[in-house]
Amino acid sequence: MIAALYARYSSDSQRAESIVAQIRAGREYCRRKGYHIIKEYADEAYTGTNDNRPAYREMLRDAAAGLFEVVIFHKVDRNGRNEFDYYKNKQELARHNVRVEYSGQAFDSTSPEGALMENQLVGLAAYYSRNLSREVKKGLKENVLAGKITGGRPLFGYSVDKNKKYVINEEEAVAVRYIFERYAAGASYIDILREINARGYRTRRGAEFGKATLHDMLNNRRYIGTCILGKNQPYLDGRRNSHRPDHDGMIIVPNGCPAIISPDLFQAVHERMQENRRRGGRRTAKYPYLLSGLVYCGECGASMSGTRTRTRKKEIREYYRCCQKSNHGDAKCPNRYIYAPALENFIIERLAAVIDNESLLFRLAQKVQEKYDALVGNARVQIAALQEQEAKANKSLERLYEVIADGDTFDDFDRAQMKHLKQKILDIRAQREKLEQQPGKTISSAEIVHYIRDRFLPAIRQRTVSGLTELLQYFVHTVTVFRDKIRVEYWFASCRYSSERTT
């Protein structure tokens, strides 16, 4: 029987030597059973509370490909410490006719008694993990109550003393107070960031401050001395959200660390933030931004996103702006905003001119037809070649299986060859399936012209958002906005054509 070994250790008082011991036990187990090991998998420093482990996922993929017939773990807890994941993955392996056995625990899960033993071991493994988590959380809770750090880098504005307690970093605290005071006084994010970065302050990662960092700082209650544990506690489905509202699983400790700012200043900041949210809600009508994902800044290379501003006459206008400029101001990018409707209409009118022009559209259709015919003809040739390659690989694999069945010597070279052949067959099948999904019938230039006009002319004439979005996504490759010109690259028959317009 062809077997695979899997080993794992987590970071709870285990070392890499644990992998070696598990693999050794698995090899000895296979020698006694007469199994032929084709592959060994190992995950180092990965928890068993979920199955999101690289080698484990690779093992499941190889099982689905039929690479082996049985997978050997050392013990149940090396397979997993979560009941749902354990039985879900065991069922998946069973669907591919792969058995699960354990070198360090002798039970037969196919018998009633063995299944009962397996259930108990899985439950114990899950209990161990959850109990360990509970004990760890107890220690973290005590650290929070004592004003000690609970891991990770200390928040900007704080340092950690020899007793692992938070103390104010006076140099950074100056910047923290400046940020809160300036925002409460009405300054914008960009104005604050420009000053903070100019003074040489950097985040804990050594990067310049951006809007996201600033927003998180202004919402962090630690700056008024309140310590919080468990805000990022997962939901029942396992998802995490560090911005979720307060919940019962949180531990909130007022005066748990030294305060850098006053509660009144923190409240003033949040009143302004809430007012900004309410003001933004008054103009929530969505503008579609038809070129989203296609517009780039020609000055710094960053993408450009949609934004709305209010003019002096209190009119709301939509623009595309450089994301680098948005996050860090003019110091990072000197490019200007560009009026969104004008940019979109310019490109739509150019495309409409092509679709309305009989001669231009027919030439475009001819190019599409040439590409299409070449693709279809080439696909047929490639499919035939791949079928021949797959047949040869299958014959070679069958000969190796005959060697195993006859009991002849099956060495490491043979195992490597079998693995290579199976992977080759899977790759060939994937390529063939992809080619077979391509349409095989011929199509005329007239049909292409008819298709383009039927699909896109109504959208241009009626100005439907969905139709115009589809038109732009089909025909526009990129739009690059410079300070003095716009460059548009179009997709025409799998080729890129550029045009520029001076602004």
pLDDT digit string, tens, across residues 440-466: 556 788 888 888 888 888 888 898 998
The neighbour count for residue 496, using CB atoms within 10 Å, is: 10
Please enumerate in sequence order all residues whose Cβ is within 8 A of that of 110, keeping only pairs 6 or more positions apart, or say none. Answer: none
Confidence class for position 496, pLDDT limits 50, 70, 90: low
The reported pLDDT for the residue numbered 237 is: 54
The reported pLDDT for the residue numbered 494 is: 47
Tokens of 6: 């899997």
Question: What is the identity of the amino acid at 263?
Answer: P
Q: Please indicate whether residue 388 or residue 230 has the higher confidence score (pLDDT).
A: 388
Nearest Cα neighbor of 474 from 499, 448, 452 is 452
Percent helix, strand, coil in the chain, to 5, is: 50, 15, 30
Tell me the domain boundaries of the chain: 2-133, 158-281, 375-440
Please enumerate in sequence order all residues whose Cβ is within 8 A of that of 431, keeping only pairs 6 or more positions apart, or say none. Answer: 382, 386
Residues 101-144 pLDDT 10s:
999 998 888 888 888 888 888 888 888 877 877 777 777 777 77
Average pLDDT of the segment spanning 44-48: 78
The reported pLDDT for the residue numbered 448 is: 82
Beta bridge partners of 73: 102
Distance CA 75, CA 102 (A): 6
Residue 330 has pLDDT above 70, yes or no: yes
The reported pLDDT for the residue numbered 135 is: 76
**Mapped to the 3 state alphabet, what secondary structure does 78-136 carry?**
HHCCCHHHHHHHHHHHHHCCCEEEECCCCCCCCCHHHHHHHHHHHHHHHHHHHHHHHHH
The reported pLDDT for the residue numbered 438 is: 61
Tokens of 93: 């392996």
Confidence class for position 13, pLDDT limits 50, 70, 90: very low
Domain 2-133 matches domain 158-281 at the CATH topology level: no
Contact 51, 57 (CB under 8 A): yes
Give the strand pairing for 476-481 and 295-297: parallel
Residues 372-406 pLDDT 10s:
666 666 666 677 778 888 888 888 888 777 777 77
The reported pLDDT for the residue numbered 501 is: 65
Contact 457, 467 (CB under 8 A): no
- What residue spans of 169-307 are helical by DSSP H? 170-184, 189-198, 211-218, 263-281
* Domain 2-133 CATH class label: alpha beta
Residues 175-187 pLDDT 10s:
999 999 999 988 8
Average pLDDT, the chain: 83
Confidence class for position 357, pLDDT limits 50, 70, 90: confident
The reported pLDDT for the residue numbered 153 is: 83
Least confident range from 272-276, 430-434, 490-494: namely: 490-494
Please enumerate in sequence order all residues whose Cβ is within 8 A of that of 88, keeping only pairs 6 or more positions apart, or say none. Answer: none
* CATH numeric code, 158-281: 3.90.1750.20
Q: Please indicate whether residue 6 or residue 235 has the higher confidence score (pLDDT).
A: 6
Tokens of 281: 């809600």
Contact 8, 52 (CB under 8 A): no
Average pLDDT of the segment spanning 207-225: 91
Distance CA 220, CA 223 (A): 6
**Burial of 255 per CB tally in 10 Å (0-12, 13-18, 19+):** exposed
What is the sign of the dihedral through the CA atoms of 314, 316, 317 and 321?
A: positive
Average pLDDT of the segment spanning 189-205: 90
First to last CA, the chain: 72
The whole-angstrom distance between residue 281's C-alpha and the CA centroid of its chain comes to 30
Residue 151 has pLDDT above 60, yes or no: yes
Q: What is the DSSP string of 391-404?
A: HHHHHHHHHHHHHH
Q: What is the DSSP letter of 379?
A: H
Nearest Cα neighbor of 213 from 271, 277, 151, 156 is 156
Average pLDDT of the segment spanning 304-308: 89
